[in-house]
Amino acid sequence: MDDAVLFHLKMLAHTVLAPVGAVAVLAVLAALVPVRYGGARAALVGLGVAAGMAVGFGLIAGWPAVPPVDTAGWLVFAAIAAALLFGVFELVAVPPPVREAVRLVLAVGLAGLLFVRVGPQLDWGWTAWGRWAVLPAVAAAAAWAALEAAARRGPSAAAPAAALLGALGLSAASLLGASAKMAQLAGSWAAVLGAACLIAWRWPALRFGRAAAAAAMLPLGGLAAYVHYFVEVPPAALLLAGCSTLAAWAGVLAARRGARPLAALLLVALLAALPAAGAGYLAYRAAQPAQPASAEDAALQELYGF
């Protein structure tokens, strides 16, 4: 077989087939749980999403050491920790303020771990830590909370569909920012969310709940902060990619108006695709080399000094 064909088959297996397979295995286990234990089912679906994210990272970027040598490896541990913690929240009633505090601590903690080596080396002050770590973490936590709330109030497939488009926007922005590996990783995580979307749509009892939203949104938010600093993806592009997740609320509104699940899902996909495409466009514009000044502009600059 041709080497190019083998290369593309290997990329397909690493990016899509293996991560989606991990989701499918946990989804089958969740389906074996009696329907009356809905929280346990949702927790297993969340673990499936986390497993898919971890497998995709390991096959694309390499399996992280403990503790990770490359700080990006913390994304894997974040996905698993979020799935476990919010899986417990699927089973045990927890006051909303406690849940939101845990969400914020996880988001800020992950951002801190991603820059735990860069910050001290560059002698970051409070302003730098706030710009590169805290503000992106707070934005990611807000998008995560919005997606989770939409998943609980609307069609279950709408939330992973919106997150899927957001991940694709992040992938496009990373690729145009000249990081093929990060783009492939975000694309792999989009495939995981696509599998979760299909499962939630075809088998509504296997819903995309708190644990799945946590396993998806925490590492995606961390990856956005990572590529913002290390790949220099414009913040506006990342904000647009994050706004794709808000389209899940269109599914909530459509369901309340009596729309069919498929129609609500298509509406969510359409609305989420717009900011995702905008994220790719802004990253493309930022990646373009500056145009050389014309002879007339050069003469004016020399004459007037501007």
Over the stretch 128-187, which tens digit does the pLDDT of each residue have? 899 889 999 999 999 999 999 888 887 878 899 999 999 999 998 888 776 889 999 999
Pick the more confident residue, 104 or 12: 104
Q: In 3D, which of 242, 241, 256, 243 has the Cα closest to residue 155? A: 256
* Model confidence at 196: pLDDT above 90: yes
pLDDT for position 292: 52
Residue 88's alpha-carbon distances to 39, 197, 207, in angstroms, are: 9, 22, 16
The answer to whether position 273 is within a domain reads no
In-domain check, residue 20: yes
Domain count for the chain = 1
- Report which listed range, 142-151, 261-270, 289-298, is most confident: 142-151
User: Is 263 a residue whose pLDDT tops 80?
Assistant: yes
Q: How far is CA 7 from the centre of its chain?
A: 26
Predicted confidence at residue 143, as pLDDT, reads 92
Please state, for a pLDDT cut of 90, what percent of the chain lies above it.
50
In this prediction, residue 106 carries a pLDDT of 96
237 located within any domain? no
Q: What is the mean pLDDT of residues 234-262?
A: 82
Tokens of 278: 């905008």
d(CA 187, CA 166) in angstroms, rounded, equals 10
Backbone dihedral angles phi then psi of residue 300, each to the nearest 5 degrees: -65, -40
Q: Is the pLDDT of residue 302 over 60?
A: no
Banded pLDDT at 294 (limits 50, 70, 90): low
Of the given ranges (23-32, 135-144, 221-230, 244-253), which has the lowest mean pLDDT?
A: 244-253
- Give yes or no for a contact between 35 and 205, defined as CB atoms under 8 angstroms apart: yes
Which class for 138: exposed (0-12), middle (13-18), buried (19 or more C-beta within 10 A)? middle
SS3 of 18-60: HHHHHHHHHHHHHHCCCCCCHHHHHHHHHHHHHHHHHHHHHHH
Domain residues for the domain of 115 are 3-151+179-231
pLDDT bucket at 305, cuts 50 / 70 / 90: very low
- The mean per-residue pLDDT over the stretch 194-220 comes to 93
In a domain, 197, yes or no: yes
Query: Percent of the chain having pLDDT more than 70?
Result: 93
**Confidence category of residue 298, pLDDT binned at 50, 70, 90:** low
Does any domain span residue 264? no
Between 34 and 179, whose confidence is greater? Answer: 34
pLDDT at residue 300 tops 50: no
Q: What is the pLDDT of residue 27?
A: 94
pLDDT tier at 81, thresholds 50, 70, 90: very high
| 256 found inside a domain | no
Q: Establish if 111 belongs to a structural domain.
A: yes
54 or 237, which is more confident? 54
Q: What is the pLDDT of residue 256?
A: 75
Average pLDDT, the chain: 87
- Do the domain assignments include residue 125? yes
